[in-house]
Amino acid sequence: MRYFAGLTNEETATALAISVSTVESEWRYIRRRLFNELSDPTAGQS
């Protein structure tokens, strides 16, 4: 929601009924995962 709807962490937390710290933690996790997926040339290959 933060990226696609342009919401702040606080607005996202309210919309999803979760804490701001959870929003921040999940944002860090997905950014790290996306970076790793895009950096790994073998990602997605079977």
Give me the pLDDT at residue 40, please: 79
Task: Dump pLDDT digits (tens) for 30-41.
Answer: 999 999 999 977
Q: Which domain holds residue 15?
A: 2-39
Q: State how many domains the chain has.
A: 1
In the predicted model, residues of the chain with pLDDT beneath 70 are 43-46
> 9-16 and 20-39 are packed helices; what angle lies between their axes, rounded to 10 degrees?
110
> 7 lies in a domain?
yes
The owner of tokens 């710290």 is 21
Q: For the chain, list the strands marked E by DSSP.
A: none
Give me the pLDDT at residue 1, please: 76
> 46 lies in a domain?
no
Give me the pLDDT at residue 16, please: 95
Cβ neighbours of residue 1 closer than 8 Å, sequence gap 6 or more: 7, 11, 12, 15, 16
Give me the pLDDT at residue 30, please: 94
> 21 lies in a domain?
yes
> 44 lies in a domain?
no
